[in-house]
């Protein structure tokens, strides 16, 4: 992994956990045949993904929470729900 690419990507996505997930998902896409959006000297998929993030070509967003207005439940999953007697 190229540390210069990592430092540049950290300026775009400062949270290390989110950065690692975004970079890993993009690296997997590249490994499965997706075309890179940048020209990179390295053939390492993670380096390409970090460079794409650093160039602001890759981002992320969180999904919306479901609300009771739509009829969808926002409660915990059945495994996490409190048991009923």
Range of the domain at 43: 3-54
What is this structure's pTM? 0.72
Q: Is residue 16 part of a domain?
A: yes
- Residue/partner pairs of 42-48 with CB below 8 Å, 24 or more apart: 42/2, 44/1, 44/2, 46/1, 47/1, 47/2, 47/5
Domain count, the chain: 1
Question: Do 66 and 72 form a contact (C-beta atoms < 8 A)?
Answer: yes
Q: How confident is the model at residue 1 (pLDDT cuts 50, 70, 90)?
A: confident
User: In this predicted model, what pLDDT tens digit does every residue of 32-58 receive, in sequence order?
Assistant: 999 999 999 999 999 999 999 999 999
Report pLDDT for 68: 63
């Amino acid at each position: 992994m190229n540390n210069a690419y990592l430092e540049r990507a950290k300026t775009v996505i400062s949270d290390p956990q989110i950065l690692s997930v975004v970079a890993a998902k993009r690296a997997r896409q590249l490994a499965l045949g997706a075309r890179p959006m940048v020209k990179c000297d390295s053939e390492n998929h993670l380096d390409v993904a970090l460079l794409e993030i650093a160039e602001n070509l890759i981002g992320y967003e969180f999904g919306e929470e479901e609300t009771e207005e739509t009829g969808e439940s926002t409660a915990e999953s059945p495994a996490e729900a409190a048991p009923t007697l």
